[in-house]
Structure formats: C-alpha cells, structure tokens
Amino acid sequence: MKRVALPELAPAAIHQPAGQHLLADLSGIAPQRLRDCATLESLLRQAAQAAGAHVLFSHFHGFGTGLGVTGVVLLAESHITIHTWPEDGYAAADIFMCGSAQPELALAVIEQALAPASRQISIIERRAQPSGK
C-alpha cells in the first residue's frame, strides 16, 4: 500500500466531470507477466504517470502462488484497475480518467509490458448531465 502526497493541483484541471473510460480485454499474455503484485503495481503506476494522471493510492492482492492478481490505482482523475488470470493468459484492465489525463497513453504502457497476442478495447465517453438548475 503506497500513498503519495500530491503537489498543490488546480481542482478544475483534474476534477472535470467528463472523461474516457477504457475497458481492455487482453489475451494471449505469458502467464509469468500476470502473477506478481509488485510488478503489476509498478506497471499501473507507470501507466498513470505516462497518461499525465496523479496517483493517490494503490492496493494489489495476489491470490496465491501461480494465481492471478487484482489491483487498483486510485487517481485524482479517477482510477486504473487490473484483474489477471495467468492460467488463461488473460487480463482485464479498466482505465477511467477525467480532466486532461490521456487514458490511451496508459493503455499503451500496459500493452507494451504485457504484450498480449490479442486485445478488445471498449471506449465509453463519460459526461455529467445537466442538473436542470
């Protein structure tokens, strides 16, 4: 569990109620790339940094020797999560970022490191609806 103090940030630059939510299904990954909590935590933190996001906190859990990992990196801009199944060579990543952060850059870092044979990406545009006030 790592907490990082942030420099003073302009709230308007980070906390905009609009952004992109990327859902990535990554298959055909070498199992050894999907088993280590510390390696995956470092990877997701690097991905957040590459996207221009600000890490607030992270937590990763391994399910035992040779088994998968679930982890979350909380961001000032939202979050990145990953769930892995080494026995299937599969990882599901969820990258939601608001403000000026660029989630596609985070995904590029994750894909570079995991080297999936195939991928399926869904992109959801997130926007606040007018409140009618």
Query: Which positions are annotated as active-site residues?
Result: 78, 83, 98
Residues 6+ positions from 126 with CB-CB distance below 8 Å: 17, 18, 19, 20, 21, 96, 98
Q: Could you give the CA distance from residue 92 to residue 76 in angstroms, rounded to a whole number?
A: 22
Q: Could you give the CA distance from residue 83 to residue 34 in angstroms, rounded to a whole number?
A: 9
Q: Could you give the CA distance from residue 33 to residue 101 in angstroms, rounded to a whole number?
A: 26
Residues 6+ positions from 113 with CB-CB distance below 8 Å: 33, 43
Which stretches does DSSP call E strand in 36-130?
A: 55-62, 69-75, 78-85, 90-98, 118-127
